[in-house]
């Protein structure tokens, strides 16, 4: 019954899914597409804080999802300049939260450009520090658009099982460089007021204006 309700809510909706090279986000994209959503994948080019292998992995995942669902599109947005600014001016303990808020803003920006209805992520509750209830609420505040989290109540084993079933798991576990901005002790609780204060030095409108999106042929 719940699955049917979700299907009705997103069927025929156009959704931008933030696609990393990890296990979770391609599973989220698959579940949304399976429910009838028109999925547009957004990979973010975080170089120099990651490597070319990550971008290749993201493209491989996009190709696999297109093989399954047919009408999937893939976009790439520049994001390294944003991470560089975060590293320079923001408290190390909240970097991940601010980075995630900026990723959501990038997703919302692309959604506006391609006339999508909402954005989606592969987050599941409590897996990492940025996915506590407090931090999810803080990240949500950054955008006005609806955010879908189809994996929110799943445990890691359930997500891995689905990734193996749709044959994205082996692609996702290829060796790549993880984000070099991740602090050793990230904040697990946050207040929007404090995060907004940290963001004041970012010049957010300018950073968003500098994002360049391109459509990737699959």
pTM: 0.91
Tell me what percent of the residues of the chain surpass a pLDDT of 70. 88
CATH number of domain containing 199: 3.40.50.620
Residue 122 has φ and ψ, to the nearest 5°, of -100, 25
Q: What is the pLDDT of residue 93?
A: 87
Residue 99 has φ and ψ, to the nearest 5°, of -60, -45
Mean pLDDT score of the chain: 89
Domain that includes residue 95, residue range: 2-215
Q: What is the pLDDT of residue 8?
A: 53
Q: What is the pLDDT of residues 140-165, one digit of tens each?
A: 999 999 999 999 989 899 999 999 99
C-beta separation of 15 from 118 below 8 A:
yes
Number of domains in the chain: 1
The answer on pLDDT for 125 being more than 90 is no
Q: What is the pLDDT of residue 134?
A: 81
Q: What is the pLDDT of residue 131?
A: 67
Q: What is the pLDDT of residues 8-40, one digit of tens each?
A: 567 679 999 999 999 999 999 999 999 999 999
The answer on pLDDT for 202 being more than 80 is yes
Q: What is the pLDDT of residue 2?
A: 43
Q: What is the pLDDT of residue 185?
A: 67
Convert 143-166 into a string of H (helix), E (strand) and C (coil): CCCCEECCCCCCCHHHHHHHHHHC
Task: Quote the CA–CA distance of 63 and 193 in Å, as a whole number.
Answer: 40
């Amino acid at each position: 019954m719940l699955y049917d309700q979700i299907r009705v809510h997103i069927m025929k909706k156009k959704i931008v899914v933030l696609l990393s090279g990890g296990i979770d986000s391609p599973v989220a994209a698959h579940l949304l597409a399976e429910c009838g959503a028109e999925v547009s994948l957004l990979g973010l080019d975080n170089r120099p804080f990651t490597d070319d292998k990550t971008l290749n992995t993201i493209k491989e995942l996009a190709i696999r999802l297109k093989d399954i669902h047919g009408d999937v599109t893939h976009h790439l947005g520049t994001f390294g300049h944003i991470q560089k600014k975060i590293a320079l001016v923001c408290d190390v303990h909240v970097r991940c939260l601010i980075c995630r808020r900026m990723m959501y803003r990038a997703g919302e920006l692309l959604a506006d450009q391609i006339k999508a209805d909402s954005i989606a992520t592969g987050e599941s509750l409590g897996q990492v520090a940025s996915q506590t209830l407090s931090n999810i609420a803080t990240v949500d505040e950054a955008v006005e658009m609806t955010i879908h989290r189809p994996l929110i109540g799943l445990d890691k084993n359930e997500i891995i099982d689905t990734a193996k079933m749709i044959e994205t798991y082996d692609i996702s576990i290829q060796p790549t460089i993880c984000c070099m901005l991740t602090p050793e002790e990230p904040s697990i609780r946050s207040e929007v007021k404090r995060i907004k204060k940290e963001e004041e030095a970012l010049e957010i409108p300018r950073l968003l204006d500098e994002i360049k999106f391109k459509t990737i042929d699959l």
